[in-house]
Structure 1
Amino acid sequence: MSQFVADDHTPSRPQQRYTNLYTDLARTVRELGLLRRRRGYYWTRIGLVTAAFAGVWVGVGLLGNSWLQLLMAAVLALVLTQVAFLSHDGAHRQIFDSAAWNDWTARLLGGGLIGMSSSWWRSKHSRHHQAPNHVDHDPDIGAGVVAFTPQHVEKRTGLSGWLTRRQGWLFFPLLTLEGLNLYVSSLRHLLRRSATKVERIEAAIILTRLGGYLAVLLILLPVGKAGAFLGLQLAVFGICLGGSFAPNHKGMPLVPATMKLDFLRRQVLMSRNIRGGVMIDFALGGLNYQIEHHLFPSMPRPTLKAVQPIVREYCELHGVKYTEVGLFTSYRIVVDYLNNVGLRARDPFQCPLVALYRK
């Protein structure tokens, strides 16, 4: 049965009607208790990933000087990906009621186990959540090695332009460097002169973790094998983490820098869900419910699946396009979009409210 009942007092003005859309949905979700914390789930997850992390290093110690250590490097990367998902949930304050508990859980998991700054990531990721795929506002589509907007493509000529036109095919190989990029970016953020006291504490945790990691590898393995272990771990980590974020927004509409949208459409129309079962949920850390996550960033990860039918029905009821595809279809879309970004993104996104007024 539908969770929504027609409202005889629906505002007649389009601006007010659009503004109220998210408010009505949020009220329904809150009344159903879908924003309640899931502490048992998260304590279990934290315990399992911590045990897995420790188990990998026990395995590394037992294997000793062997090329089989590369298997351990790959397993470590998979474990760190799961740790990153938990740190992400903590940064979004999905785990505890206390903001401080959430923040320090994110810092200790991200800094102590992964060696990556939660403070840096949260600052960047918060701006993305505020304006997904919004040109000049979303840092995830800013200028970089990969061009995500026509404006970036137009500035590239010669070899750079040639590579940009084929960047879709290079995207996944480039993800092997994403792990290294995350480490460098987070350290650069923490070691800046204006770093806060908390960020300095986080920097100390991360430098201790990274220094200890390198020391253990060099003690247990010859330099060549230690380098191979480190390189493979970073590459697999980058592919797993980048591969979980790539399907969510790449290839969805771009919002011009000066355009404003109501919250519900800004989050739903620019996001893409990924179909799948338990394995997809695990591999993507709940980010396969990207629409629901953007609408309710503090909603615990296991609840996203429960709220999905409600959000989908609500979007259909109000004529808001809800996008969901399979994992490999999403990757095909990403590759195709990146190879043709200068062509596929030239038509500006049409604001539904503006279109309604024009009619």
Structure 2
Amino acid sequence: MQYVDSATVPRDAASPEAGQSATFAELSRRVREEGLLDLCPRYYLAKLALNTALLGAGLTAFFALGATWWTLAVAVWMGFCGGQSAFMWHDAGHKAMFRSKRLATAVGLVHANLINGASFGWWVNHHNRHHSHPNHLDRDPDIGRRTAIFDRKQYAARTRRQRFIVRHQGVLFFLLLVCELFKMQMTAYRTIARRELRRPVLEASLIASRAALYLGLVFWVLTPWQAVTFVLVQQACQGVYFGMIFAPNHKGMELRDGEAESLSWLERQVLTSRNIRPSPLVDFLYGGLNYQIEHHLFPAMPQKNLPRVRELTLAYCAELGIPYREVGLLRSYAEVASFLNEVAAPLRARETG
């Protein structure tokens, strides 16, 4: 396994020097001229302070309410806070926050391992490969780790239980998002056990500390049944939040297959990605990932600069005649569900026919 962590992520994985096309080089030039790739550490310090305040508010409410079923509202809130903290490890992993590699890694480890029980080292490796080969049936690990299929040729590799899910994936995909955080945590345990990380002891220690502190507080303050329900609700809400953030980004967009790469870097990122139409609320809830096209073109770009880059990218794609997909929030999920159902429909017909 090739180890990749935040210390080795290139500052601009989409630079012409990285072997991209001259077509992309022109867009990159326009972006650089406006200083949009410059880091914004003060912005991220404010974001980190806000996330700390959100978590602090949740903890205050948890202790203030005590052993009551009303704490389930706090569980929902903490699921939301966990999702917000994931944006911090995401941007730290892309080195979009600070110049210091150590500081970026520290932010990632705290927000992934200590706050969420996930593995920052595994995630960076996984996510970098996704950025290099978005929506590629064999090379994109975000496709490979899903039970859902995106092309019918994937059906043969599924087990009997998985095939039932696949046949009804237009609906079950969204229902199973409740397990998304749990799956990431289980992946962390397996990756650490196989020692496939640069820092297995550190990552394991942070995850174990998180589990001890989290479960200790929950079972100390709440009754056993309340504690179990609190954990389940928090995990489920955060899993759904994770899934709803990532689901619209690529599913239902152009798929790629085979060894030959016929698309330029610009086309590869634009044609395989979908934006959600921005607004102040959408930008906050999605942590800038609603600008998925721009994020894939410039993964090391600070979140606050994505709206302006969207304007530049829209204009540039219009000049070149490259389709640029951006839809409203509800429409994005409708497109995902429709695509998954379309892939599964012939399989359902074959099983019932």
CA distance in 2, matches of 1:200, 1:187: 12
1:207 aligns with 2:188: no
CA distance in 2, matches of 1:340, 1:154: 17
The one-letter amino acid of 2:230's match is F
**Contact preservation (8 Å) 1:190, 1:203:** yes
Question: Match for residue 259 of structure 1?
Answer: 260
Question: Match for residue 293 of structure 2?
Answer: 291
The one-letter amino acid of 1:48's match is L
Percent identity, aligned pairs only?
A: 38
Q: How does 1:8-87 map to 2 (within 5 A)?
A: 19-87=21-89
1:127 aligns with 2:129: yes
Aligned CA distance change for structure 1 residues 326 and 199 (closer, same or farther; 3 Å): same
**Contact preservation (8 Å) 1:252, 1:270:** yes
CA distance in 1, matches of 2:28, 2:154: 37
**Contact preservation (8 Å) 1:177, 1:235:** yes
**Which ranges of structure 2 fall in alignment gaps of 5 or more residues?**
1-19, 347-353
Question: Match for residue 281 of structure 2?
Answer: 279
CA distance in 1, matches of 2:114, 2:93: 15
Question: Match for residue 218 of structure 1?
Answer: 219
**Contact preservation (8 Å) 1:133, 1:253:** yes
CA distance in 2, matches of 1:94, 1:159: 40
CA distance in 1, matches of 2:160, 2:193: 36
**Which ranges of structure 1 fall in alignment gaps of 5 or more residues?**
1-17, 345-359
**Contact preservation (8 Å) 1:150, 1:343:** no
Q: Which moved more, 1:256-265 or 1:131-140?
A: 256-265
- C-alpha deviation, 1:38, in angstroms: 1.4
CA distance in 1, matches of 2:161, 2:112: 37
TM-score by length of 1: 0.87
Query: Aligned pairs, how many?
Result: 326
- C-alpha deviation, 1:59, in angstroms: 1.6
- What secondary structure, in the 3-state scheme, does the structure 1 residue paired with 2:147 have? coil
CA distance in 2, matches of 1:254, 1:296: 21
CA distance in 1, matches of 2:269, 2:311: 16
**Contact preservation (8 Å) 1:248, 1:271:** yes
CA distance in 2, matches of 1:80, 1:274: 22
Question: Match for residue 230 of structure 2?
Answer: 229
Question: Match for residue 3 of structure 1?
Answer: none
CA distance in 2, matches of 1:146, 1:164: 5
**Contact preservation (8 Å) 1:273, 1:289:** yes
Question: Match for residue 243 of structure 2?
Answer: 242
Aligned CA distance change for structure 1 residues 89 and 195 (closer, same or farther; 3 Å): closer
CA distance in 2, matches of 1:166, 1:194: 34
- What secondary structure, in the 3-state scheme, does the structure 2 residue paired with 1:174 have? helix
**Contact preservation (8 Å) 2:93, 2:108:** yes
The one-letter amino acid of 1:119's match is G
CA distance in 1, matches of 2:309, 2:197: 38
Aligned CA distance change for structure 1 residues 31 and 172 (closer, same or farther; 3 Å): same
- C-alpha deviation, 1:339, in angstroms: 1.3
Question: Match for residue 109 of structure 1?
Answer: 111
Q: Which moved more, 1:286-295 or 1:315-324?
A: 315-324
CA distance in 1, matches of 2:272, 2:70: 43
**Contact preservation (8 Å) 1:164, 1:339:** no
Q: How does 1:294-309 map to 2 (within 5 A)?
A: 294-309=296-311
**Contact preservation (8 Å) 2:66, 2:222:** yes
Aligned CA distance change for structure 1 residues 136 and 94 (closer, same or farther; 3 Å): same
**Contact preservation (8 Å) 1:135, 1:141:** yes
- C-alpha deviation, 1:337, in angstroms: 0.9
TM-score by length of 2: 0.88
- C-alpha deviation, 1:342, in angstroms: 5.2
- C-alpha deviation, 1:40, in angstroms: 1.7
CA distance in 1, matches of 2:144, 2:162: 17
